[in-house]
């Protein structure tokens, strides 16, 4: 959807008040992965809920172990995303992803090195294979939206 007036998605803290750098810096303070997981779960609690009308086949992310939905709007040259999941840790992972992509121009989304970001977080080595695949499926959905908009 393309809009020209401010949209509620622009109020999502991920990508605005919570950036990818913020998440990297905060995670670096924790010594244990148990504490890092708790921080990621807490991030998920800050994820605004997606309207139930978007919890449908069009918005579901295929390849995730849990149910995940992503919706997007294009406003004033930037893409804004809203997402939700039925699993706490996945909501947190959505926050991690949205911190990198939300409120960015499609070209910036496409040029962002998400693998380097995940490496800086040390994330992929601490997720199960199915969670890692789900995380990549979330990224793939966002990238496909950016490609269609660019």
Active site residue 64: yes
The catalytic residue among 23, 40, 64, 138 is: 64
Q: How far apart are CA 26 and CA 116, in angstroms?
A: 17
User: Residue 104's beta-bridge partner residues?
Assistant: 79
d(CA 111, CA 7) in angstroms, rounded, equals: 25
Phi and psi, residue 88, nearest 5°: -60, -50
| HSE (side-chain half, CA atoms, 13 Å) at 36 | 20
Query: On the CB side of 120, how many CA atoms lie within 13 Å of its CA?
Result: 14
DSSP conformational letter for 9: G
Q: How far apart are CA 128 and CA 112, in angstroms?
A: 24
Known catalytic residues are 64
């Amino acid at each position: 959807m393309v809009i020209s007036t401010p949209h509620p998605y622009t109020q999502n803290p991920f990508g605005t008040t919570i950036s990818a750098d913020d998440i990297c810096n905060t995670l670096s303070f924790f010594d244990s992965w148990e504490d890092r997981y708790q921080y990621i779960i807490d991030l998920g609690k800050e994820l605004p809920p997606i309207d139930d009308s978007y919890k449908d086949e069009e918005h579901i992310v295929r390849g995730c172990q849990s149910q995940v939905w992503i919706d997007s709007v294009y406003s004033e040259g930037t893409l804004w995303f809203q997402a939700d999941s039925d699993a706490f840790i996945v909501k947190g992972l959505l926050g991690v992803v949205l911190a990198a992509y939300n409120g960015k121009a499609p070209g910036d989304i496409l040029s962002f090195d998400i693998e380097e970001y995940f490496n800086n977080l040390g994330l992929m080595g601490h997720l199960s294979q199915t969670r890692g695949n789900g995380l990549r499926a979330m990224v793939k959905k966002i990238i496909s939206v950016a490609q269609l908009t660019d």
